[in-house]
Structure 1
Amino acid sequence: MTNVVIFGAPGSGKGTQSELIIKKYGFDHISTGDVLRAEMKNETELGKIAKDYIAKGALVPDDLIINMLANVLDSKKNSKGVIFDGFPRTIPQGEALNKMLAERGCKVDVVLSLEVDDAELMDRLIKRGQISGRSDDNAETIKSRLEVYHGQTSPLKQFYIEQGILASIKGTGSIEEIFERVSKAIDACK
């Protein structure tokens, strides 16, 4: 099984590229947000605990997220590959993901980092906000989200560079051009 982590700033094209990866390679998509919502909706033990944290306005602890992801991963043992989207975001989460995968006899094979400069991201997100009506796609909120992203991911990028598995992907050009770069990085790790 090929394990891919995809990250990039808001508006970098993670969703679009993830869909293309799924279509071409037949990988399963594991989105932390989707997993969390499903666990809470199904009122699993982990979901109930997560709901309590969220109700208090607190972040769901990493170990709880890892346990949820482990359950999902265990249900996908026969998968060709998995794309982790939205996780990890911090070095402790990266370490926890490595440990969880090692316990299952596998590892993160490649980390795709979609690189787009902030001015381009602002343009993309403002346009997306105008089209979709998303209230969180305004200049002030976007600037704040980008600052949080850069603060969290700079150390995480270094973590994966040190493991020799970070593939920095130029995230500009046509969707097809970007996907060609993404495909090369995935094919190189197989």
Structure 2
Amino acid sequence: MAINLILLGLPGAGKGTQAQVIKDKYNIPHISTGDIFRAAIQNKTEMGLKAKKYIDDGQLVPDEVVCGIVKERLSKDDTKNGFMLDGFPRTLDQAKALEKMGPELNRSINVVININVKPDILVKRLSGRFICKTCGASYHKIYKRPKVAGTCDVCGGHEFFQREDDKPETVKKRLKVNKKMNAPLIDFYKQRHLLHDIDGHQFVSADKNIPAVAKDIDNVLDKL
């Protein structure tokens, strides 16, 4: 059976890392909303041109066009043996539209992976990043400290800063918005018995966390 997958998870939960692992192991395309939007606009597809008009006018792209771009992408031959959606659906209406287009394309969703990490842990993950002011090298207070405290490994600089997006209060607000947005989708797919919650905080060390989470995802996907 083809793996027609939706990947859910709050920012910092490790979606990007796990998406790459899934893509490599199961040889299915990773379909990111941002990527297919850019491609549709660049390739001047019917839906891409519609999206560009809204964007150029400074308006939000309506669900009808967003879903149309996703439908265009799922219609391609490389999705016949499975695919992974990341960043879509974002709303309940989009989820319902995807459910409707599935049988039309013979691409119905058969598994939804939700990488679950407690918000307080995500705040630590996301707000721990700091950057070298001289060369831009990125570090983390917990997971990637400079070899010598206060000294950049790359350029030897001693001045560091934290981006506004990475500050704890900003991170908390972003997580709150995303959690509210994801809740209806989680309920929607839970009701359809498609949702699988994966513990994204099986943390032993920075290098052992990724395989532990990936193994639990494999246990779900291998059953398909």
Is the TM value for this pair above 0.5?
yes
Q: Structure 2 CA distance, aligned partners of 1:138 and 1:49?
A: 36
Q: Which amino acid aligns with 2:84?
A: I
The alpha carbon displacement at 1:55 in A equals 3.2
Equivalent in the alignment of 1:42: 43
Contact map agreement 1:129 1:136 (CA 8 A) in 2: no
Per-residue CA deviations over 1:23-44 (Å, capped at 9, x if unaligned) read: 1111111111111111222333
State yes or no: 1:122 paired with 2:157: no
Q: Bigger radius of gyration, 1 or 2?
A: 2
Equivalent in the alignment of 1:167: 196
Per-residue CA deviations over 1:34-75 (Å, capped at 9, x if unaligned) read: 111112223333223212322344321112111111111111
Most deviating of 100-109 and 39-48: 39-48
Equivalent in the alignment of 2:213: 178
Q: Structure 2 CA distance, aligned partners of 1:31 and 1:117?
A: 24
Q: Which residues of 2 match residues 1-16 of structure 1 at below 5 A?
A: 1-16=2-17
Q: Structure 1 CA distance, aligned partners of 2:171 and 2:77?
A: 35
Paired residue total:
189
Equivalent in the alignment of 1:54: 55
Q: Which amino acid aligns with 2:217?
A: V
Q: Quickly say closer, same or farther: Cα 1:129–1:148, change in 2 above 3 A.
A: farther
Contact map agreement 2:80 2:107 (CA 8 A) in 1: no
Most deviating of 4-13 and 31-40: 31-40
Helix, strand or coil at the partner of 1:82? strand
Equivalent in the alignment of 1:68: 69
Report the TM-score when normalising by structure 1.
0.91
Q: Structure 2 CA distance, aligned partners of 1:36 and 1:81?
A: 20
Name structure 1 gaps, 5 residues minimum: none
Q: Structure 1 CA distance, aligned partners of 2:218 and 2:77?
A: 22
Higher RCO (Cα < 8 Å, 6 or more apart): 1
Contact map agreement 2:11 2:122 (CA 8 A) in 1: yes
Helix, strand or coil at the partner of 2:173? helix
Q: Quickly say closer, same or farther: Cα 1:41–1:78, change in 2 above 3 A.
A: closer
Q: Structure 2 CA distance, aligned partners of 1:140 and 1:56?
A: 32
Q: Which amino acid aligns with 1:150?
A: K
Helix, strand or coil at the partner of 2:113? strand
Q: Which residues of 2 match residues 121-140 of structure 1 at below 5 A?
A: 121-128=122-129, 130=131, 131=138, 136-140=165-169
Aligned sequence identity (%): 38
State yes or no: 1:93 paired with 2:94: yes
Contact map agreement 1:115 1:169 (CA 8 A) in 2: yes
The alpha carbon displacement at 1:8 in A equals 0.3
Q: Which amino acid aligns with 1:62?
A: D
Contact map agreement 1:111 1:166 (CA 8 A) in 2: yes
Helix, strand or coil at the partner of 1:103? helix
Q: Structure 2 CA distance, aligned partners of 1:32 and 1:175?
A: 24
Contact map agreement 1:27 1:79 (CA 8 A) in 2: no
